[in-house]
Amino acid sequence: MQGLIIKSLKKYEDDRGFVIETYRMDEINSNPAMTYFSYSHHGVVRGPHEHVFQSDLFQFTGPGDFEMYLWDNRPWSKTYNEHKKMVVGESNPSTILVPPGIVHGYKCISKKGAYYFNSPDKLYKGCGKKDEEVDEIRHEKDPNSKFQIPNSK
């Protein structure tokens, strides 16, 4: 999809443990405004939703795995209406830059749950969480939406 960046991540291991570089400015041009860490229980679906202005920079490294769903909802894009589904997380460490207009959502497929980081380029609700409306178009609230993630719960 045009503007979408998916980068497989390398795990560097030694006798002390491991490190995974999830973001390097020389590889992905993004300007994070905040970072958050999230956990989802098995079978939980988050999204699908899209942003008008915000880009999300997800880092899926585990523990646990998600099914990631992406749809290009930008009529001007060369990849308009393309859909992509992939497994990301512990079994496929990935960084994903989701630009505005790409509908995205994910489902936790690990029995023990799964974790991820997100570093969006906009502050949630603006400075002090009080200045702005949340930049989301929440397709999960529309039962007739063409953007659907199968729920296993």
Domain region containing 50: 5-141
For residue 150, being part of any structural domain is answered with no
Percent of the chain with pLDDT over 90: 66
Among the ranges given (7-21, 29-43, 74-88, 110-124), the one the predictor scored with the smallest mean pLDDT: 7-21
pLDDT at 153 over 70: no
Contacts of 132 (CB under 8 A, 6+ apart): 123, 125, 126
For residue 149, being part of any structural domain is answered with no
pLDDT of residue 152: 55
* Strand ranges in the chain using DSSP code E only, listed in sequence order: 5-8, 11-14, 17-20, 36-40, 45-50, 56-60, 65-72, 83-89, 94-98, 102-108, 114-118, 137-138
pLDDT of residue 126: 81
Which pLDDT tens digit goes with each residue over 47-104? 999 999 999 999 999 999 999 999 999 999 999 999 999 999 999 999 999 999 999 9
Looking at the structure of the chain, the number of domains it has is 1
pLDDT at 125 over 90: no
pLDDT of residue 81: 96
Structure tokens at 13: 């291991």
The CATH number assigned to the domain holding 17 equals 2.60.120.10
Among the ranges given (39-48, 91-100, 133-142), the one the predictor scored with the smallest mean pLDDT: 133-142
For residue 153, being part of any structural domain is answered with no
**DSSP states of 11-25:** EEEETTEEEE----T
For residue 114, being part of any structural domain is answered with yes
For residue 51, being part of any structural domain is answered with yes
pLDDT of residue 124: 85
For residue 48, being part of any structural domain is answered with yes
pLDDT of residue 24: 82
pLDDT at 14 over 80: yes
**pLDDT bracket for residue 117 (50, 70, 90):** very high
Which one is predicted more confidently, 29 or 37? 37
For residue 148, being part of any structural domain is answered with no
For residue 33, being part of any structural domain is answered with yes
